[in-house]
Structure 1
Amino acid sequence: MGNIMEKLELTAQSMYCKKVEELTPSELHLSLGKAVMGEIAPNWEASKAKHNNNRRAYYFSAEFLMGRMMYNNLYCLGILDDVKKLLKKKGVDINVFEDIDDAALGNGGLGRLAACYLDSAATQEVPLDGYGIRYKYGLFKQLIKDGYQVEVSDNWQRFEDPWCLRREDEAVLVSFKDQTVRAIPYDMAVIGCKTSNINTLRLWQAEAVNDFDFTAFNDTEYDKAVKEKNDAENITKVLYPNDNKYEGKVLRLKQQYFFCSASLQDIMRRYKAKHGNDFSYFAKENAIQLNDTHPVSCVPELVRLLMLENMNFDEAFEIARKTCAYTNHTVLGEALEKWPADLMTQVVPEIYHIICLIANKCQEELTAKGISEDMKAKMRIVDGNVVHMARLATYASTYVNGVAQLHTEILKDDVLKEWYQVYPERFQNKTNGITQRRWLGLCNPELAAMITDKVGSDEWLTDLSLISKLNESVNDTRTINKFNTIKKKKKVQLAEYIKKMDGYDVNPDTIFDIQVKRLHEYKRQLLNAFSIMTIYYRLKENKLKNWTPTTFIFGAKAAPGYARAKAIIKYINEIANLVNNDPDTKDLLQVYFISNYNVSYAEKIVVAADISEQTSTAGLEASGTGNMKFMLNGAVTLGTYDGANIEIAECAGEENEYIFGARVEDIEKLKAEGYDPKKLYDANPEIKRVVDTLIDGTFDDDGAQGEGSFKELHDSLLKDSSWQKADNYFLIYDLPLYVDAKIKANADYADRKAFGKKCLMNIANAGKFSSDRAIVEYAKEIWHVSHK
């Protein structure tokens, strides 16, 4: 500890000619970060050497939503409190680091899961390193103006990043049909908790081979002089460039191939340093996990690179198949990536050629197995002008896994049904998890201390199954009162944070009913909005008695090109304007849409929630990890029988959650019988009244009453379109059931002891949902690598 403070003082002096107490927040962040990096360097080097001598795994992901690193790193090193005290002696509040931006290199659950898995792998001493992209700009910063989402660039690197080390000497070249770029690696240390083990996240940045054409500049062709530089850097400029247009699709494909090729070249360089050109050990020493379909070009690229080592296609493909495993994260058709074949031939023709070879091999293999022509047609990797990346991943992997029990069963029974029938031995379930260190220990120290006291040690930080000992205290009135006191404190802190970030005055004496996640129609934030309007009208008309005052908090980003999602944000903000300012309801009902929801905001939100909203249409949320964070911090789940909600209810007891709505089998039956939302809408005046607020002038759709984006939302619920059935996500069907569940949860909250026990039951039975458990399962059952 003393060494870090000495290094901090030396760094402050050498970099800025300042004392520690004179540094700005960004200067302090950089100085302390460098001091920490200097302190951990020997352990990091030793860990790399150890991993290099054994079988190891790599996690390929287009997203790593790491969040702010300073607090987490100090916490995992066990020195957060010491640093806090020593900085305080110098008159510095450690909370100044809240002014430093998150590394928003992810969009939501997929990227945050990847971050949790790296954290858990380091802690459980699993030799797992990550590979991804070092985007110059994160997802985007979200502003709310006149109720609408506005996107602005998120230049998270503007104050420099002490956690990433540029490794210029290990740069590689990546070639496309029309372009060759340099891939520069940046290494981030992933620090384990209660261990000296440190893993690595290597992020690639695209740069030009020649970044300045002096001759062109001299000839006053200034744009041409930097064109190669700009074209190269565009590849890693932004997470998920908008692909509504051809140019966007090209850039996104380049992005995916870029990081896959660079990462594989890196792995092969390391392998060849040990074994030369003998690749017979490659699959024995390396395991690659493909996190969704974004990194699936890894498969043909590995085949291509192996063939460059004088291997034939069949040999190269067998090595690739034994090396790779695929995690499916969605059942949504639009998220199972498909690339136009002609686009691939224009961008990565060699890769498309190898995919065709793999596709032909697949069909030959299926023929040899006696598979029917109809079934083979459903399993074509290249089908007409379309390349199906999920099919490629499923065929070319040793293992395929879903991320919750229900999700895996849906993969087997529906999305990948044919593949499961042919290759049942490949399919596994790996229910997602979260790291209890960031999502409880770090962000909720008061609750963490209470758990340590009740459990008898803090070993639950590295073995969350030990938290089950809390079950012995859930009936104890003093324990319940203590928990309720902690929850109130976290609500006060969140209210203060919301005031600081968004300017809203939130009342911490109300129920906090919270829905924070990516904005997508299937997650049904619109259903939540309709339920609030239903409750609002009942309160206005004195039809709802004994309502406990409630604050509904939303946080979500909509993809820039997703018009309906943006319309839902506007609608929620219109509701907020109405109910927050109505003298009849403002003391009973408040609605707030917080802006720029990110990891740091989440750390304040999940600890303060009383009710966690998890309202996805049954069968569509693969797992969810937000639901686990809320559970671990003592919120009840108000949700559908979907994803990990099912397992949460099984672990904590369904009586301690509020499960509502159609289940998967109900929805299948409704589809088979011909679901008619218009019939339900016409038969239920309350539903009709609420849904019609979209078009009847209750709210301002930017002056386009009855004709704008709200009208399009209304139509989507009641009219079939050329590409989607009316009410495709069953909002109208589930709305009455949802309102009933919401009112029951509200009424139950009035009994603070009984409700507090429900919350404690959630905490005590959250052990299954640690990413430590999940990562050890991957290590044992998919990667076959060592662990603690």
Structure 2
Amino acid sequence: MKSKSPNTSLRTGTKAAEIRQAFLDHLTCSLGRLPAYASAHDHYLALALTVRDHVVHLGVSSFGGKESKPQRRVAYLSAEFLPGPHLANHLLNLGLSETARKALASLDIDLDAVLEQEEEPGLGNGGLGRLASCYLDSLATVGVQSIGYGIRYEFGIFDQQIRDGWQVEITDKWLHGGNPWEIHRPGAARDVGFGGHTESWTDDFGRHRVRWLPAITVRGEAYDTPISGYNSDHIALMRLWKSEATESFDFEAFNHGNYDRAVEQKVDSENLSKVLYPNDSFRHGKELRLKQQFFFSSCSLQDMLRILEMQGAGPENFHEHWAVQLNDTHPAVAVAELMRLLIDVHLLAWDQAWEITRATFSYTNHTLLPEALEKWPIDLFGELLPRHLEIILEINARFLDEVRAAFPGEDWRIARLSIIDENGPRYVRMAHLACVGSHTVNGVAELHSELVKQTVLADFAEIWPEKFTNVTNGVTPRRFVALANPGLSTLLSKAAGKTWPGKLSKLSKLEALADDAEFRAKWRQVKLANKSRLAELITERTGILTDPTSLFDVQVKRIHEYKRQHLNLLHILSLYLKIKRDPTADIPARTFIFGGKAAPGYFLAKQIIRISTAAGELINDDPDIAGRLKVVFFPDFNVRNAQYVYPAADLSEQISMAGMEASGTGNMKMSLNGALTIGTLDGANVEIREAVGEENFFLFGLTADEVSEVEVCGHHPRQHYESDTELRETIDFIASGALGGGSGLFQPLIANLLEHDPYLVLADFRAYGEAQQRVSELWTNPEDWARASILNTARMGKFSSDRSIREYCQRIWKVKPGKPSE
């Protein structure tokens, strides 16, 4: 959105000459570089600072404007954000891409080369963090005042390298070259305590009072990154907290020669925001994770109270000014922290504070995996947060009293609903705390939301059915189509009008063109160009040559057993064996592309990566295969790399066991870019299939209900192995050591499948192969495939994150967007 304020034209002018001058000013005055000696990275920093001026100006206007009544703001609390590179996205949203290109070209600088200099902030692990960033983009786009609160991890999710076929984790030093987008806000710094003890007394007014005396105090320093909206006068803020010591240097210890102790507190304090998701296999890791979660939750709530005070409002009005969304259970401790701040610091009565707290928070559940529903040992929790444990115990006691009154004599219900897990060692159940302390609980796809009510939170849904709702996830079409797929973007703008990135439902105009042979030809040309671009990158990164005319079969996402990358690999190896047996077999050429990171301590996930690279080593250079099959593991899958992969996908692999994937968003990104989906009825696949048409979706596998039946009746994976010749041959081939490394290399993976198979890979193998045969049949008819591809894109309007945010605003947050809906 172009600035209209005349007094800022020197910094935020939108003509090419003005951008050129601002760029040169930043190069000289901000960076101290003469243009003749500036590096490519200097060019990036100067342009980033130039564009940041535009974004910050919008932010000052949208957050600092005078209002007759202050708007209710949204605070999105998330342990992860994956914004991706900022510069190109801001240029797109501000409508300055071509102007900036022209301005730099006048200085003989290539904009694309400048864009390549930007480091990607590795502030998230996968879908959770990318969703949070899509939502900030959409909050700014639809015009809602909002802040996304999180942690400024010094080292984000690791960079992934593949060495000898195995994943190797490399430190992600994303801040090493500086971060021109963030603005340090020293005035917003907050102190956060840990450990210590509590003291209680009765004050002069007869009120019961509690004082928490922490053993240590850490300071949270705020760093703001503005997030622009598409064609919008608003921005959102991503406010991240960095931990620092309140006293960073012990002068007395230094003077006495104890040099290590002099900086000990600084080191310990800064460890809090050092790395994303420290390994919690051990108590020290668990302690650090809990500290991180409390640290950013406390800083964020204190910041909201600070802003409230600046607006002239009191804490008793907190819920009228803030709608706080808990993105999964990581920030659930915020429920206890807001209660502490209200009753201990601001002296509100318990009942009033509890009413405010429950009117403030809403909770998004992102998982049905029991191990992902966080719970903390009660001794660890009490040691780190003694006052919060007292508050949680009080919340729990009052809540269970309500349950007893409503369901007398049903002690089993008390045990299942309790925030404290009393079965064996005692734990604090964070999902239970989030449910009790929130006014709304939502899942992230229609199927997932139903399964949440039937499984992990069934007891809460029974007593509070009105509290549960669904908001299906969405993705921003700006980054994942307009920016990632410029060829398709141009085609869409001609066919559906230039406003489609902000009004995704306009893509429905493509439906009429699906039967137009000329349009289909243009569509195929765009896809081929995207595949050629990815093929070049694959060769550069891996040395593997791929054929862009082959079917690009893509599975890129976090590596996990439930996502079933190994089901895909079993099918690939079965095709390989089929061709080896019969070189004339009718199998169209395919390039199988995998990408994703395995958690450092997740052995079987790392084995899945290794078997994919081993399959590639075997198949890619086999003269009998002659290029008909290629297997690629694309390393270091992240937002930047996703922008190459999604537009090039022909087939989107969404093959998780039904009932396990909450929603998925990669399924949306690939379908929006014209990929056809092969998938189970899991997560948002259900709604995507309904939207694009079941004839344009390759369905296979057990349903969630059938999976439950199998689990009740008992699963016997060896029966599938014994009864299916093709499956048995494939598994025996792996066990033989033919993939290299000896017969024992993949024995743990094989044993897991044959003895346990917790995600029913073998049960779905036959149906998956049949669905893949239907894929091959359609692929051999390019016109029909192109038609189905066009219809996939045309019918994906529902899956914009703008729609998701409008639903949150209407149904959960009770906030009115500043821009009208499409």
Settle same-fold status: TM greater than 0.5.
yes
Question: Is the counterpart of residue 83 in structure 1 residue 100 in structure 2?
Answer: yes
How far has the Cα of 1:344 moved from its partner? Answer: 0.4
Map of 1:561 onto structure 2: 601
- 1:402 partner letter: G
How far apart are 1:56 and its partner, in Å?
1.3
Once the two structures are TM-superposed, the CA of residue 88 in structure 1 deviates from its matched residue by: 2.4
Aligned residue runs from structure 1 range 725-764, under 5 A: 726-764=756-794
What residue is the counterpart of 2:61 in the other structure?
A: 46
Question: Which residue of 550, 563, 571 corresponds with 1:531?
Answer: 571
**Which of 392, 409, 413 matches 1:375?**
413
Counterpart in 2 of 1:520? 560
Moved more, 497-506 or 624-633: 497-506
Q: CA deviation at 1:583?
A: 0.7
Shift of 1:86: 2.2
**Counterpart of 2:735 in structure 1: which amino acid?**
I
Q: Encode CA deviations 1:436-487: one digit per residue, 9 max, x unaligned.
A: 11111111111111111111x2121111111111111111111111100000
2:172 maps to a residue whose letter is: D
Q: Is 2:815 the counterpart of 1:781? A: no
The Cα shift of 1:45 comes to 0.8
- 2:325 equivalent among 289, 303, 322: 289
Between 1:358-367 and 1:402-411, the stretch displaced more is 358-367
Q: Which TM-score applies when normalising by structure 2?
A: 0.93
In structure 2, the partner of 1:765 is 795
Q: Which residue of 1 aligns with 2:270?
A: 233
> For residue 143 of structure 1, what is the amino acid of its counterpart?
Q
CA apart distance, 1:395: 1.2
> Deviations for 1:90-143, whole angstroms, at most 9, x for unmatched residues?
222222222322111000000000000000110010222210110001100001
Normalising to structure 1: TM-score of the pair? 0.96
Tell me the distance in 2 between the aligned counterparts of 1:21 and 1:411.
60
Runs of 4+ residues over 4 Å off in structure 1: 19-22
Aligned partner of 2:387 in structure 1 is 350
Instruction: Tell which deviates more after alignment, 178-187 or 104-113.
Output: 178-187
Following superposition, the deviation at residue 222 of structure 1 comes to 2.4
Tell me the distance in 2 between the aligned counterparts of 1:608 and 1:381: 47
1:395 maps to what in 2? 436
1:93 matched to 2:110: yes
**What is the CA distance between 1:214 and its match in structure 2?**
2.8
Partner secondary structure for residue 187 of structure 2:
helix
Match of 1:58 among 59, 63, 75: 75
**Counterparts of 2:181 and 2:87, CA distance in 1:** 9
Instruction: Return the alpha-carbon distance in structure 2 between the equivalents of residues 16 and 437 of structure 1.
Output: 30
How big is the shift at 1:180?
0.9
CA distance in structure 1 between the partners assigned to 2:398 and 2:701 by the alignment: 44
Per the TM alignment, residue 544 of structure 1 is displaced from its structure 2 partner at its CA by: 7.0
Paired residues for 1:285-434 under 5 Å: 285-307=321-343, 308-370=345-407, 372-384=410-422, 385-434=426-475
* Residues 121-168 of structure 1 deviation map (CA, whole Å, 9 limit, x = unaligned): 100102222101100011000010001000010010111111110001
Question: How far apart are residue 16 of structure 1 and its match?
Answer: 4.1
d(CA) in 2 for partners of 1:694 and 1:359? 52
Contact 1:174 1:182 in 2 (8 A): yes
Q: CA deviation at 1:505?
A: 2.2
Q: How far is the alpha carbon of 1:21 from its aligned partner?
A: 6.4
5 Å-filtered alignment, 1:622-637, equals 622-637=662-677
Equivalent positions of 1:186-335 (< 5 A) are 186-275=223-312, 278-307=314-343, 308-335=345-372
Q: Secondary structure at the match of 1:194?
A: coil
Deviation at 1:282, TM superposition (A): 1.5
Matched, 1:147 2:165: yes
Is the CA contact 1:134–1:236 (under 8 Å) kept in the aligned structure 2? yes
- Equivalent pair of 1:212/1:225 in contact (CA under 8 Å): yes
- The structural deviation recorded for 1:409 is 0.6
How many equivalent residue pairs?
776
Query: 1:28-69: per-residue Cα shift (whole Å, max 9, x none)?
Result: 222111112223333211211248921111100000101111
Q: Do the aligned residues in 2 keep the contact of 1:283 with 1:320 (CA within 8 Å)?
A: yes
For residues 516-546 of structure 1, the C-alpha deviation after alignment (integer angstroms, 9 at most, x for no partner) is 0001110001111111001111111118732
Out of 573, 578, 588, the position equivalent to 1:548 is 588
- The Cα of 1:362 is off from its aligned counterpart by 1.3
User: Are 1:438 and 2:453 matched, yes or no?
Assistant: no
Letter in 1 for 2:457: L
Contact map agreement 2:147 2:237 (CA 8 A) in 1: yes
Q: Secondary structure at the match of 2:192?
A: strand
Confirm or deny: 8 A CA contact 2:583 2:624 kept in the other structure: no
* Equivalence for 2:494: 453
Query: 2: distance between equivalents of 1:149 and 1:236?
Result: 25
Q: CA RMSD in A?
A: 1.5
Residues 415-452 of structure 1 show CA distances to partners (whole Å, capped at 9, x for unaligned) of: 21111110000111000000011111111111111111
Change (3 A) 1:586 1:128: farther
Structure 1 residue aligned with 2:526: 486
Change (3 A) 1:125 1:16: closer
* 1:21–1:92 CA contact under 8 A, matched in 2: no
Code of the aligned partner of 1:387: V
C-alpha distance in structure 1 between counterparts of 2:72 and 2:333, whole Å: 23
Structure 2: tracts of 5 or more residues without a match: 1-13, 196-214
Would the aligned equivalents of 1:431 and 1:774 in 2 still touch at CA under 8 Å?
yes
C-alpha distance in structure 2 between counterparts of 1:151 and 1:485, whole Å: 37
Secondary structure of 1:217's counterpart equals helix
Cα contact 2:51–2:87 (8 A) shared by 1: no
